[in-house]
Each structure stands twice: as structure tokens, then as C-alpha cells.
Structure 1
């Protein structure tokens, strides 16, 4: 593993979040359009129910959009060009249980058909790996996780 790979994993995270934000914005526009159509074509109780459902959907999407923006902002604080000796936020870590990018909780991203797991430092695995160096190990869910490399 090297900094080039770390930059690629960072870029994959950035792309996923950018696409997620764009998708949520589009869904919000569609919901707002549906709400305006509901206003024009409905009256009475049916209107109130439909409008309430659209308002709830709009609130849900707004919350998801805010969360995606927070993740994006947190990701952008990291420097993919900085190397680490010990696992910390921003580290790419090869372990006996997979390769993890300690950044934001996004799940797996693929680079050249290989999965890299983007985890937050507050996640259970992030907490176990924190402060470890290559060659060290720690218990995790009844098994041992060995750190093979840290970038």
C-alpha cells in the first residue's frame, strides 16, 4: 500500500458522497414539485393527508442531505497525502480482517475491484485499531485483528 492508493480510496469516498448529495437534492426537488402539484390539484382531507406525507418525506430527505454534507465536510478535513505510523483518523490500514480507511462511515468503496472499508474513528473497529502500528494486534469480537500496514 502507498499514498497513491490512499488518494484513490479518498477520491472514491469523495465521489460517493458527492453523488449521494446530488441524488438527495434531486429527490428533494421532485418532492417539492409533487407538493406544489398536490396543492394545485387537491382539496379537503385528501389534500391534507397527501401534503403531510410530502412534508414528512421532505424532512426525511433534508436530514439525510444534512448528514451527507457533514460526512463530506469531515472527509475534506483529511489529507490523503499524509502518511501515518500509527492508526489514526486519515489512516489506510491493512489488517487480517480487511483494509480500512479511518475517515467517515461509508461502508465499502471499491478501487480496482478491491473493497476498502471506510469507517469512522468512533466505530467499534475504528476504536480497536486506534493507536496501533504495523505488526501489532488487538482483540475484536472474539477474534484477533492484526495490523499489517498503516499508511
Structure 2
């Protein structure tokens, strides 16, 4: 339903842009042309934003974003918890065995805290582009 609503909103946005373009072909002052151009830009950006918002709400139940920064991303779905750095999957964990607690980012790495559901313990991973390693208490 939300996807259909998104398509309808984009369709109305395109119709509005065509109407504005047809109106701007007449002899108008520079100020009126400027307002028409600003209106086209506003309608275009708002249509794209609405589509992104609708896509986010449509797929948020399937993929849950747990952590996001310029360094990395932690995604959780019903099967696994995945750690990504710069668009590349570094490590995945079974959602039935591990739970996500938190994540923080550093200069070239992210630190992820996970909970082992079997023995109710917590462990911390430091992940960079080469992979992840468990941080021992002494390493901090």
C-alpha cells in the first residue's frame, strides 16, 4: 500500500513539473522564471524524499538498522546480525545465538558489543576492513 502511495506521489510530482514547465514557456519576467525554477527544484526534491521515506517505512520491518555512521553499518534481520564497513560485509552472526547491544565508531574501525544468548555473556569486537577481532579487557 505504501509503495503504491509512493508511485502516486511521484506521478503527481511529475504532472506538477510538466504543468510548471508549460507555464514557464510563456513570456514572463526573470523573477517569475526564477520562482518557477525554484518550484521545479522543490517538487523534484520533495518527490525523491517522499520516495525514500516510503521505501524506508516499507522495508524497515525486514531489515533493522542497529548502527549507522560514515565508518560502518550494523544491520539486523530475522536471521543474522551483519557488520559492514565501507559497503563490504565484514562479519555475520546468527540472530538466534547472539543479540546486538551497542556499537561505537573510531577513526578506522567500529566496536560492536554483542550478547551470547546461550550463556548470557557479553563480548566486544573491534572491526576494520581486514575483519573483526575480540577485544579482551586488558586490551582496552
TM-score class, shorter-chain normalisation, is: 0.3 to 0.5
Larger radius of gyration: 2
Larger helix proportion of the pair: 1
Question: Normalising by structure 1, what TM-score?
Answer: 0.37
TM-score by length of 2: 0.39
- Structure (1/2) with the larger strand percentage: 2
